[in-house]
Amino acid sequence: MSKQGNIGVTSENIFPIIKKFLYSDHEIFLREIISNAVDATQKLKTLASVGEFKGELGDPTIHVILDEKAGTITVADRGLGMTAEEIDKYINQIAFSGAEEFVEKYKNDAAAIIGHFGLGFYSTFMVSKKVEIITRSCKDGAIPMRWSCEGNPEYTLEETTRDEIGTDIILHIDDENKEFLSKDKISDLLKKYCRFLPIPIAFGKKQEWKDGKYVDTAEDNIVNDTKPAWTRKPSELTDEDYKKFYRDMYPMTDEPLFWIHLNVDYPFNLTGILYFPKVRNNIDINRNKIQLYCNQVFVTDAVEGVVPEFLTLLHGVIDSPDIPLNVSRSYLQSDQNVKKISGHITKKVADRLEEIFKNDRPQFEEKWDSLKLFIQYGMLSDEKFYDRSQKFALLKDTDKKFFTFDEYKTLIKENQTDKDNQLVYIYTNSTEEQYSYIQAAKDKGYNVLLMDGQLDVHLVGHLEQKFEKTHFVRVDSDTVDNMVRKGDSQKVDLSEDQRNALQEVFKSQMPKMDKAEFYVTFEALGETANPILLTQSEYMRRMREMSTLQPGMSFYGEMPDSYNITLNTEHPLIKKVLSEEEAACREQLTPILADIKGWEARQSDLEEKQDKKKEDEISAAEKEDLDNTGSKLEDLRSRRDAILAGFAGNSSLVHELIDLALLSNGMLKGEALSKFIKRSVQMIG
């Protein structure tokens, strides 16, 4: 039988369309052709097992043969083959109608074309000027056939000779795609797409080192592992098997922390192994990705949509015949089946973490620092995962002790509940820099959490919303007495003038720092507490931290850092500063302060009068009077401040106190630090 005909497509110019549209991804032809060979081989096995095929199965190995001289790539299988009728049906009609439908559907959506679509057999025309099929069906007495097509709607189909059942697909590579006629290129593609196919794939021969060069041996070079770990039963696998599989997938990467073997058959099919990697830096995160397979054929490592976002940081393999691969990314994300898969993976991961936590808490704690990035990311981005994480998410304190959320709550309830019945979580992000604050909090019997991870700023905000009647404060955000307010704070016993004086004395001597502002406040903290303390408002600091991570909040990023200088008015050294100031400045200040009092009285008098009148009833003279009073006061106050600053400038004690406060906040550096050391030495001597 010999036949010529037209391939059953309405669109005459389908070939140019295939070439043009699929240009970006034309290497997938090899995957398509080999997976067809795998299908054919497996179908023959099935026929044999049900007794429909009674012949010899033979060696199922699929051979990929590169003939650089002839310019061909051949994929030869020992599968079920095709009869003339089957070629007509599956190749001439069905495969093509699929191709046409595809092009019709996506011609206006170029983005959808990029990616993976399973166009199948006809993707070979992206790289070939001619494709031949030489096949012999497994059916009794089937006549071997040769089909040939040169990239136009005409084909020939004729009888040929062939002893073995099975199929050879011969691609005559066109001039623009000569790059595929290279051994290295084909090896790379086989490694990428065919590495875990279930039927052995041979490409060339194994080589050995002989007489100073590599020579072919008689043994086939099998490029794939037909039974990769994820396809096997967890009970058959040892820890070492899992680790080895990981090493094979991601060479040069640290050993994984944990793994999760996925095995779902209802309501969809899914297998795979996900690994929690030990991440050292962000480069690792981007380099190694989860790979998505469809019946052991590699599809993509862009798994967004299939795997919840926070789990895209994991490594490993997911294999599912149910994920619609031949559709666009946007479709994938809205697909209900895919959503279910994503939800299911989340649940499995949470279950596994809970299991490890329950069975081996010490190990879980040991690995927590590496794990927490993933877990916290999940808690922040996935409501369901957050709920599940309550069973295993941990908090770590500065003594490196770990607590579940419930355990921690119980621990601090007694001591860290304030007068408004709010539970106060105290945390630090640096045990080095905030050492003295941590110490003070501990002395007070408080527990301090260590929150120094990349996502901890976000988590703090998140937990505050989730936990009831709770707030978090960083250990350096207030004085230790104010951290957990148990009652009204001790009254500060200072006159108005004394407050002004101390404020100016300290403020005037604060170092000039870029983007830093200082406010002087007073607390009666007792004689034994520190005389001076530098704290940073929790709210402002958090806003600034968030602003660096979130667009649209740059306003906060522009704000200066604001620090509170808290003076402990009961400390002897602060009392000493005050009495030295009074002794040094009284003479000069007394008349100025009296003047200020006078002018202030006048000012409030005038203001009171004018407040009672309507705007147009106030005369120009009255307005001028008030203005003059204001500038007089300004003048007097700056004279007062200059005197105080003059005193402070000469006071080693003031400088020493300020430097101590800066020092305990990690802010004393460079020249200022060496000045401090010199001065301290002098003061000791």
Q: Nearest distance from residue 177's CB to ligand ADP, in Å?
A: 19
Q: Nearest distance from residue 278's CB to ligand ADP, in Å?
A: 40
Q: Are 313 and 352 in contact (CB under 8 A)?
A: no
Q: Nearest distance from residue 39's CB to Mg ion, in Å?
A: 7
Closest CA to 398 of 444, 434, 361: 434
Q: Nearest distance from residue 119's CB to ligand ADP, in Å?
A: 7
Beta bridge partner(s), residue 168: 76, 134
- Shortest Cβ contact with Mg ion: which residue? 120
* Binding partner selected for residue 37 from Mg ion, ligand ADP, none, CB under the kind-specific 5 to 8 Å limit: ligand ADP
Q: Which is nearer to Mg ion, 320 or 568 (CB)?
A: 320
In our burial notation (b when 16+ CB lie closer than 10 A, e otherwise), range 133-162 reads bbbbbbbeebebbbbbbebebebebeeeeb
* Binding partner selected for residue 77 from ligand ADP, Mg ion, none, CB under the kind-specific 5 to 8 Å limit: ligand ADP
Phi-psi sector, 536: left (phi>0), alpha (psi -120 to 50), beta = beta
Q: Which is nearer to ligand ADP, 122 or 522 (CB)?
A: 122
Q: Which is nearer to ligand ADP, 186 or 451 (CB)?
A: 186
Q: Which is nearer to Mg ion, 36 or 376 (CB)?
A: 36
Contact residues for ligand ADP (CB under 6 A)?
Answer: 32, 36-37, 40, 77, 79-82, 90-91, 95, 118, 120-121, 167
d(CA 665, CA 475): 11
Q: Nearest distance from residue 308's CB to Mg ion, in Å?
A: 30
Distances (CA, A) of 377 to 311, 349, 395, 644: 9, 13, 15, 52
- Shortest Cβ contact with ligand ADP: which residue? 120
* Binding partner selected for residue 157 from Mg ion, ligand ADP, none, CB under the kind-specific 5 to 8 Å limit: none
Token pair listed for 625: 């009077």
| H/E run at residue 43 | helix 28-49
Q: Which is nearer to ligand ADP, 115 or 118 (CB)?
A: 118
Q: Which of residues 27-56 bind Mg ion (CB under 5 A)?
A: 36
* Binding partner selected for residue 644 from Mg ion, ligand ADP, none, CB under the kind-specific 5 to 8 Å limit: none
* Binding partner selected for residue 378 from Mg ion, ligand ADP, none, CB under the kind-specific 5 to 8 Å limit: none
Q: Which is nearer to ligand ADP, 131 or 292 (CB)?
A: 131
Q: Nearest distance from residue 211's CB to ligand ADP, in Å?
A: 39
> Nearest 5°: phi and psi at 187?
-60, -45
| H/E run at residue 643 | helix 620-649
d(CA 527, CA 479): 14
Q: Nearest distance from residue 32's CB to Mg ion, in Å?
A: 5
Under rule CB under 5 A, residue 378 binds Mg ion: no
Helices 96-106 & 14-21, crossing angle to 10 degrees? 60
Q: Are 338 and 332 in contact (CB under 8 A)?
A: yes
Q: Which is nearer to ligand ADP, 52 or 351 (CB)?
A: 52
Beta bridge partner(s), residue 272: 262, 318
Pairing outcome for strands 532-536 and 561-568: antiparallel
Closest CA to 452 of 515, 400, 408: 400
Pairing outcome for strands 394-396 and 402-404: antiparallel
Q: Nearest distance from residue 42's CB to ligand ADP, in Å?
A: 11
* Binding partner selected for residue 272 from ligand ADP, Mg ion, none, CB under the kind-specific 5 to 8 Å limit: none
Q: Nearest distance from residue 120's CB to Mg ion, in Å?
A: 4
Letters for 94-133 (x = contact with Mg ion by CB under 5 A, - = none) are --------------------------x-------------
Beta bridge partner(s), residue 315: 275
# chain residues binding Mg ion, by CB under 5 A: 2
Q: Which is nearer to Mg ion, 9 or 38 (CB)?
A: 38
By CB atoms closer than 10 A (0-12, 13-18, 19+), residue 189 is: buried
Q: Which is nearer to ligand ADP, 133 or 371 (CB)?
A: 133
Q: Which residues bind Mg ion (CB under 5 A)?
A: 36, 120
